[in-house]
Structure 1
């Protein structure tokens, strides 16, 4: 595992932790570069149904490790190479069929907030802070992450975030739709665990198919294509559909295939 990450699995739930608490879990270039492979491993592991991303200590992540910028982003060419690593990490998370949850405490700023927006769900502790700060660094935010942010919170709030670089509270983040929910710090872990278990109990055929369709919609697709039609057809012929209908008619809890 790349330095700065910790990875663990508890049953069907995998957890990836940003583990540089003394640096507010700032994300190094090596960590950005490692994320696609980590995500691919989660996707390929049949025992894993959900990925939770979180930070060690008091913060989720304060963003990219700017102490590296003098060496790795000292010119336009170096910055372009660095940005490609970030973009690949974001695309890997966005492209996951298995659901991802950002469990947030403390600072969730810059690249940390970018990672959280790329996840499917965001749950935070009361008192967390959020912001995306390219305007403080002379950076133009990348297209995919901008599109994700606009889709999540709308253009007005996205402009506020990106153009001002100001930080907002967890309450405000929940209000504008950046967060799914906010919990007392002592309740966050249990709340996320309960939601992850809910996702694990649902049809994975349904979850992964619908996640793929949502990804296509966010990318600008407005009509179904052959892949969408096939996803829906495969589900209708699958074991989960038969089990779900039988369980509903029998008034029992469904026992979906583990896949």
Structure 2
């Protein structure tokens, strides 16, 4: 599973962790890494007990996006450029749509396509060393449609246009202000915070979280009415009265103890 460049682990029975592991190349992603990421998702999604996925990077970078040498090699001609775009889009769209609750633990700079992989995740936190930039426009490479949708819906149209059309960089605090991140954490507490958040998600009923994720996705711009109807059906199917009653009773008992 290209273990040397993409690592999959299970720190808790309910949690899968994917780590970009090319720190000597800023965790840049070649076609082989994109394929390995799909295989990692296959394994994680096949485990019914897993309902949380953490995506992070080894070393100083989250990911520098598509490997520049591969980018040059694969963008010689319209067909190659189109294939490059579709590879990244397919992966980002899959991350967005997976039943797993996804957390981008952005430990360092996220560049290019890696920013879209992060935006495709449900939750995003960053260390104080986090930064982002989307340089596609400066290369003359138009972003694929779903990436533009994610920038616009996650960050707002004005902010999305600024970041995409000017290739402007943002540091961690600016990413927080823009809504790219929900939280910025000191570097020496980052892994502790990631573990605490994943533990909290792991303790919640996975079916309920997944159903609410689908409904939230369906309520955002860019999703059609049929998606909303399917999401509503999933919400109804996720109701487990006995489980709800037990967890409420446990919470009350804990509060009163």
> Deviations 1:89-120 (Å, cap 9, x if unpaired)?
01110111111111112211111111111111
Which runs of 5 or more residues in structure 1 are unaligned?
A: 254-259
**Greater mean alpha carbon deviation, residues 126-135 or residues 178-187:** 126-135
Residues 122 and 143 of structure 1: is their aligned pair in 2 closer, same or farther, counting only changes over 3 Å?
Answer: same
1:30-179 to structure 2, matched below 5 A, reads 30-179=32-181
For residues 229 and 169 of structure 2, the distance between their equivalents in structure 1, rounded to whole angstroms, comes to 42
Alignment partner of 2:231 out of 228, 232, 235:
228
TM-fit CA distance, 1:215: 2.4
Cα deviation 1:12-71 (Å, max 9, x = unaligned): 221111111111111111212333332232112123221111111111011110111232
Consecutive unaligned residues in structure 2, runs of 5 or more: none
Per the alignment, do residues 246 and 124 of structure 1 end up closer, same or farther by CA in structure 2, a change over 3 Å counting? same
| Partners of 1:24 and 1:224 in 2: CA distance | 37
* Paired residues of 1:36 and 1:88 also in contact (CA < 8 A): no
Distance, in Å, in 1 between the alignment partners of 2:158 and 2:19 is 32
Q: Quote the Cα distance in structure 2 between the aligned partners of 1:184 and 1:70.
A: 36
Which residue of structure 2 lines up, in the alignment, with residue 217 of structure 1? 219
TM-aligned CA deviation for residue 223 of structure 1: 7.8
Aligned-partner Cα distance in 1 for 2:228–2:18: 34
Deviation at 1:200, TM superposition (A): 0.9
Q: Secondary structure in 2 aligned to 1:63?
A: coil
- Partner SS, residue 238 of structure 2: helix
CA distance in 2, matches of 1:40, 1:149: 26
Q: 1:160 deviation in Å?
A: 0.8
1:192-207 alignment runs, 5 A limit? 192-207=194-209
Give the TM-score normalised by the residue count of structure 2. 0.91
Distance 2:93 2:192 in 1: 29
Specify the SS of the correspondent of 1:100: strand
| TM-score of the superposed pair, with normalisation by structure 1 | 0.90
Secondary structure at 1:8 match in 2: strand
